[in-house]
Amino acid sequence: MLVTEKIGNLELFAIINRNIDYVLLNWYETKKRMLRKKTITGKVIIMKFLDEHPQLTVGDVIYEDDFNLIAIDIKECNAIIIRPRSIHEMVAVCYEIGNKHLPLFYQDDEILTPYEAPLFKSFRVSGYAVEQAKRKLIKPLKTTLPYSKSSNSLFKRIKKLANGTE
């Protein structure tokens, strides 16, 4: 089955008397434009998205008919979970993760990134509130904005928060 766009999210669909089948994706597959996957029940799905970055997330519906829905779910993976105790810790942690070009996720007042042993040990030695656990990485933190001299970049906003000027 060929899919070229996401239709919406399960929250917006009438689910009564419909079967819901899921395509399980790894966190790093959610922005891919072309994928070939199988649903939980074994249907082959070929995804060719026309948009540059589809950014699929939990519950996104990619197929519907009168009796069936096919939706996206994200697999759990090993993650580093950091609970910053201050805005200064938040800035330092985000800087360290970004400096290593690792993806950042922000969920339930926690900073998450895929598990890497050296980074985990570094955070633990530095005294941050950090742990390792299985999590679905579903809310990526957008850290890059198009360059503009007048733009209010993420870095500028964090700097203002850290200085108490915002």
From residue 123, alpha-carbon distances to 94, 119, 130, 146 in Å are 11, 6, 7, 30
Q: Residue range 40-53: average pLDDT?
A: 87
Whether residue 138 sits in one domain with residue 64? no
**Same-domain check for residues 108 and 70:** no
Question: Which residue's entry shows tokens 């339930």?
Answer: 108
Mean pLDDT of 59-83: 93
158 and 82 within one domain: yes
Same domain, 33 and 49: yes
| Average pLDDT value over all residues in the chain | 86
Quick one: 70 and 81 in the same domain? no
* Across 49-69, average pLDDT: 86
User: Structure tokens of 54?
Assistant: 């589809």
**52 and 125 fall within a common domain:** no
Q: Whole-prediction pTM value?
A: 0.76
Q: Angle 96-99-104 (CA atoms, 0-180°, nearest 5)?
A: 70
Domain extent at residue 31:
2-74
pLDDT tens, residue by residue, 111-162: 999 999 999 999 999 999 899 999 999 888 765 555 555 455 666 666 676 6
More confident position, 46 or 13: 46
Residue 72, pLDDT > 60, answer: yes
- pLDDT recorded at residue 13: 82
Residues 86 and 138 in one domain: yes
Transcribe 101-150 into DSSP letters. T---EEETTEEEEE--HHHHHHHHHTT--EEEEEEE---B--------TT
Q: Phi and psi dihedrals of 50, rounded to 5?
A: -80, -30
What average pLDDT does range 26-48 have in this prediction? 93
Reduced to 3 states (helix: H, G, I; strand: E, B; else coil), residue 158 is helix
Residues 23 and 91 in one domain: no
